Amino acid sequence: MRSPGPDTASLRAEARVLTLAGLILLGLGFPLTLYLVSLALAPNGLSPVLPLAIGLPPIMLGYIACHFASVRMVKARALESDLVR
């Protein structure tokens, strides 16, 4: 027996949650990275690899979350257009 697929409301709700999570991660990752870069550029500062090592994971996770949110929205729109026809 085949289970019913996701409906447009649930896909849009997932997209909202993923977008919010992605924006929070990006909002934390960019300022953190810029702050660590300023510390790395200071005399007797941090290692130049540290901003990349600490700032990259939240930025990448935020980007990936926003990407999957847009994929969910495209699926919801495709389902919606199929229902209209």
Q: Is residue 57 part of a domain?
A: yes
pLDDT of residue 3: 65
Whether the CB-CB separation of 25 and 58 falls below 8 Å is answered with yes
pLDDT of residue 5: 72
| Per-residue tens of pLDDT for the chain, all 85 residues | 556 778 889 999 999 999 999 999 999 999 999 999 999 999 998 898 999 999 999 999 999 999 999 999 999 999 888 876 5
Q: Which two tokens stand for residue 20?
A: 């919010």
Q: How far apart are CA 29 and CA 60, in angstroms?
A: 9
Q: Is residue 34 part of a domain?
A: yes
User: What domain range is 47 assigned to?
Assistant: 19-84
Q: Is residue 47 part of a domain?
A: yes
Q: Is residue 61 part of a domain?
A: yes
Q: Is residue 8 part of a domain?
A: no
pLDDT of residue 7: 87
How many domains does the chain fold into?
1
